[in-house]
Amino acid sequence: MADFVRNAWYAACWSDELTGGPAARRILDEDVALYRTASGRAAAVEDCCPHRFAPLSFGSVEGENIVCGYHGMSFALDGACTAIPGQRNVPSRARVRAFPVVEKHRLVWVWTGAAERADPNLVPDVHWIGDPGWTSVTGTMRYDCNWILLVDNLIDLSHTAFVHKSTIGTDDVAATEVTAVREGNIVTVTRLMNDTEPSVFYRKVGGFEGKIDRWHRIWLEPPSTVVIDAGGVPAGTGDRSRGIDTRVISMLTPVGNSAVDQLWAFSRDFRLDDAGVDDTIARSIDVTFNEDRAILAGQQRNAEARPDQGMLNNAADAGVVHARRIIDEFLAAERAQETGR
């Protein structure tokens, strides 16, 4: 059985991807058709017409309705059928499941759980992406692994010293101890690296010449949004005006049990209009995340071959252990609700 937290908002696509006709996405093992109505509203329905099961993503948008591309049935935003060609009567049972949708922080978020619990205030706080004081390079990456392995990867950055030597990694990241604190359902992992060599990437975009004081502060907003606050200042100065501050934000949307989409944003508060920095970030991220993809696909294969073997936890996994406990609690709560129904 797949382990997903259904009562949550998941980033389905970037707002600027949703233009023209409907788009197909697979989210938590369900096919979803996303579309934007004539008035500009983002919407999502089950990607299956109730008539002969044609995918609605093959259809078109007319006004505020999505129209099936096979025999032309129309559906309103709430999923109710509004017209059947050649038929005067539209039965009330002619409807498609409509998902609650919110557009926020330049993303289209879909609620996959019980519609009555879809509270827009529960959209994860990733406000840097749309903040005019920051600029963001964004993208989407597909990983062939369970979503929780990607949460692990983002929470425990000690791997950067080994996997990402050519971009963001330095030896100090693995050598420095972390502190992991749970407050409510948020786990925060902090790693302070003082008087350390800047990474290749920091040298390029931060223009650092000597050593720096560097920090990582990472938190998980469950079930699957990870924010990495990373930055540095010239060593011993504490001078933020000569330093750099970034947020690497990952909104993880499980595709199924062994695939996950990472909608990522790299937000920065410096050199806001510098397209050269945008390019450097885009290229570094592509290299970096592809290095992760290879490892994670291998982990997934090994995990599937060992369904009964637990993993070993090291000191650097302090945050991962908290994160997995929180995720387990969310999964258990949903299971309890389902069986209690």
Q: Which does 178 bind (CB under 5 to 8 A by kind): ligand FES, Fe ion, none?
A: none
Closest-CA residue to 103 (of 14, 225, 19, 32)? 14
Q: Verify binding: residue 261, Fe ion, rule CB under 5 A.
A: no
Q: Which does 73 bind (CB under 5 to 8 A by kind): Fe ion, ligand FES, none?
A: ligand FES
Q: Please state the closest distance from residue 102 (CB atom) to Fe ion, in A.
A: 29
Indicate which single residue of 73, 101, 141, 187 sits in contact with ligand FES (rule: CB under 6 A).
73
Please report, as a single letter, which amino acid is at residue 237: T
Q: Verify binding: residue 152, Fe ion, rule CB under 5 A.
A: no
Indicate which single residue of 156, 221, 292, 317 sits in contact with Fe ion (rule: CB under 5 A).
292
Q: Verify binding: residue 70, ligand FES, rule CB under 6 A.
A: yes
| Contacts to ligand FES from residues 3-62, by CB under 6 A | 49, 51-52, 54
Q: Please state the closest distance from residue 97 (CB atom) to ligand FES, in A.
A: 14
Contact 73, 83 (CB under 8 A): yes
Q: Which does 292 bind (CB under 5 to 8 A by kind): Fe ion, ligand FES, none?
A: Fe ion
Binding segment toward ligand FES, per CB under 6 A, in 63-71, 185-193, 194-202, 322-330 = 63-71
Alpha-carbon span 341 to 338, nearest angstrom? 5
Q: Please state the closest distance from residue 56 (CB atom) to ligand FES, in A.
A: 7
Binding segment toward ligand FES, per CB under 6 A, in 68-76, 147-155, 199-207, 263-271 = 68-76
Q: Give 123-127's long-range contacts (Cβ < 8 A, gap of 24+).
A: 123/9, 124/9, 124/221, 124/225, 124/251, 125/221, 126/225, 126/227, 126/249, 126/251, 126/265
Write the Ramachandran bin of 230: left for phi over 0, alpha for psi from -120 to 50, otherwise beta: beta
Binding segment toward ligand FES, per CB under 6 A, in 35-43, 65-73, 138-146, 326-334 = 65-73
> How distant is the alpha carbon of residue 320 from its chain centre?
17
Q: Verify binding: residue 71, ligand FES, rule CB under 6 A.
A: yes
Alpha-carbon span 336 to 341, nearest angstrom? 9
Q: Give 68-73's long-range contacts (Cβ < 8 A, gap of 24+).
A: 73/49
**Tokens 């049990």 belong to residue:** 257
Contact 136, 30 (CB under 8 A): no
Helix residue ranges per DSSP H, the chain: 147-155, 160-163, 171-175, 200-206, 275-305, 318-340
Q: Which does 156 bind (CB under 5 to 8 A by kind): Fe ion, ligand FES, none?
A: none
Binding segment toward Fe ion, per CB under 5 A, in 64-72, 86-94, 192-200, 290-298 = 290-298
Cβ-based nearer residue to ligand FES, 85 or 238: 85
Residues found near ligand FES in the complex (CB under 6 A): 49, 51-52, 54, 68, 70-73
Residues found near Fe ion in the complex (CB under 5 A): 292
